[in-house]
Structure formats: structure tokens, C-alpha cells
Amino acid sequence: MKITARGRYSMQALFDLAHHSHGQPVPLHAIAQRQALSLPFLEQIFNKLKKAGVVASVRGPRGGYVLTRPCNQISVGEVLRLTDGAFYAGAREDAGEASRTLMADAVMSRLLWKQLSDHIATFMDTVTVADLCTETSSNTCPDCTCPDYVRELEGRLASGDRKPCGALGP
């Protein structure tokens, strides 16, 4: 699995936006400062997200960026595909090893990595910004764009009906 700095930073920035917006625009310089990210880099990321309709900009002295959809309708997979052109799962091969590999082995390997990539992408499409906010216990915003979803998810986590994303790992 490869996620570039651009992909990681885009998720950090959207998480920050969802957490700190309280229904109001958030200036990029505030996100950059809180997340210790480069402002010009964030501007590039948010331009892509704006063109895709994930965020909108608000001009003026109290301007900034807002999410255009409820946070439970923005998936990690969508954001990574929009901002991280290198989002994939794959194997690195040594050039010498690749030349010795039998054709059948190469085909099998490509098939395996494609299937793994598809499974990872499917999983990433099921995790939303709201999931991240809820599972980190950081969704304290009274003007959350998806309060019913967050309450339902918190209830499912508390009752054990759903494991947090972090519980899925080893």
C-alpha cells in the first residue's frame, strides 16, 4: 500500500476541517498551522478538492473552506483518489529478479496485487471523515453536518456491534 505525503496531508487537512469548522469556514492558514503543513501545499490540495466538489471556498475576512457534503458522505478512498495519484497496493521487484521470474509467476503476482489493491480501495471507500471523527472521540462540534450518523455510530461502537477502524488491525 502506498499513500504519498499529499494523500496523508489531504486526510489530515479534511479531518481538521471537519473537526474545527463548527458550521463555519476554516481558513487554510489555520489548518496549516494546527497540522504543521505547508500552506502552498495545502492550497494545491484544496484546489483539487474544490474542483471535485468536496469543499467550497468562502471569500472575505471570515472566509475559508467548508465541506460541501455531510462528513459521513466523504470517504477516505474518494479523497485519496482525488489528491494522491500514487494511491495503490503493489510489490516492489528487483530488476534482476524480475528477469528470472517465470511468466506464470509474474501473471499470478500481478493478479494478487490487483486483488489486494481492489480490497484496500473498497475498504477505504467504506471509511468516512465522520468515522474518523467519531472513532477518535474528537467530534464535539454541536453543528456537526451529520449528527444522527455520528450518534448511531457511537452507539454501535459502545455496544460492540461495530469495531473501531483501529481494532481491525493486528
DSSP string of 20-47, one letter each residue: H-TTS-B-HHHHHHHHT--HHHHHHHHH
Residue 43 has pLDDT above 60, yes or no: yes
pLDDT bucket at 168, cuts 50 / 70 / 90:
very low
Neighbouring-strand partners of residue 67:
55
Measured CA to CA, the distance from residue 7 to residue 76 in angstroms comes to 10
The residue whose grid cell reads 497540522 is 35
C-alpha distances out from residue 92 to 1, 2, 80, 104, 170, Å? 11, 11, 21, 18, 23
pLDDT bucket at 167, cuts 50 / 70 / 90:
very low
Cβ neighbours, 10 Å, residue 90? 14
Q: Render pLDDT for 81-90 as a digit per residue (tens, 0 to 9).
A: 898 876 654 4
3-state secondary structure of 53: coil
Give the helix/strand (H/E) hosting 57: strand 55-58
Q: Render pLDDT for 60-73 as a digit per residue (tens, 0 to 9).
A: 888 999 988 888 88
Q: Render pLDDT for 74-109 as a digit per residue (tens, 0 to 9).
A: 999 999 989 887 665 444 444 445 455 567 677 777
Residues 6 or more apart whose CB falls under 8 angstroms from that of 98 comprise 106
Give the CA radius of gyration of the chain. 19
Domain boundaries along the sequence of the chain: 5-165
What is the distance of C-alpha 41 from the center of its chain?
16
Q: Do residues 43 and 53 lie in contact, with contact meaning Cβ atoms separated by under 8 Å?
A: no
Measured CA to CA, the distance from residue 167 to residue 12 in angstroms comes to 20
What's the CATH number for 5-165? 1.10.10.10
Of residues 96, 75, 83, 8, the one with CA closest to residue 48: 83
> What's the whole-number mean pLDDT along residues 4-8?
87
Q: Quote the Cα angle for 151-153-159, to 5°.
A: 100
pTM above 0.85, yes or no: no
Q: Render pLDDT for 128-156 as a digit per residue (tens, 0 to 9).
A: 888 887 766 554 454 455 666 666 766 76
